[in-house]
């Protein structure tokens, strides 16, 4: 008799993938002390501001469904999360929505004047 399948637990899946992606992002991103520190601090503030990491989780699930390995797909999952975070930062800029808060925390442009100038420069 075949073994009974365990039901899929979406919450557990997302929690474990969030942890995995957060650890990988921590390894991939420069530390806050790496020059230019202002930008790296702003990057880390934004990327680790919270969130479900849904996009990287879907990417990792798709890789697994196609027979791929999570370790091979993890850099791509992190890249997707970085692009998503980049879009949120730009959405919060004064020329766009001009939001003061994202996920209950001050936006990147509200936290760092120097970082804000650099982010704004990318809109040109």
> For the whole model, what pTM was predicted?
0.77
Mean pLDDT over all residues of the chain?
83
**Is it the case that residue 52 has pLDDT exceeding 70?**
yes
**Is it the case that residue 118 has pLDDT exceeding 60?**
no
List the chain domain ranges: 12-121
Please write the tens of the pLDDT for every residue from 85-106: 888 877 766 666 666 666 677 7
The fold adopted by the segment(s) 12-121 is: Farnesyl Diphosphate Synthase (1.10.600)
Quickly list DSSP for the chain.
Answer: -PPPPPPP-HHHHHHHHHHHHHHHHHHHSPPTTSSSHHHHHHHHHHHTS----HHHHHHHHHHHHTT--HHHHHHHHHHHHHHHHHHHHHHTSTTTT--SEETTEE-HHHH-HHHHHHHHHTT-
């Amino acid at each position: 008799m075949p073994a009974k399948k365990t039901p899929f637990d979406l919450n557990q899946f997302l929690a474990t993938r969030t942890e995995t992606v957060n650890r990988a992002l921590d390894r991939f991103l420069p530390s806050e002390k790496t020059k230019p520190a202002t930008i790296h601090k702003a990057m880390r503030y934004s990327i680790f501001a919270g969130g479900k990491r849904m996009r990287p989780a879907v990417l990792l699930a798709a890789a697994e469904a196609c027979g791929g390995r999570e370790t091979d797909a993890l850099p791509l999952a992190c890249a997707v999360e970085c692009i998503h975070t980049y879009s949120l930062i730009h959405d919060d800029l004064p020329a766009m929505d001009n939001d003061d808060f994202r996920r209950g925390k001050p936006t990147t442009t509200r936290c760092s004047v120097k970082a804000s100038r650099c982010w704004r420069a990318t809109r040109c």
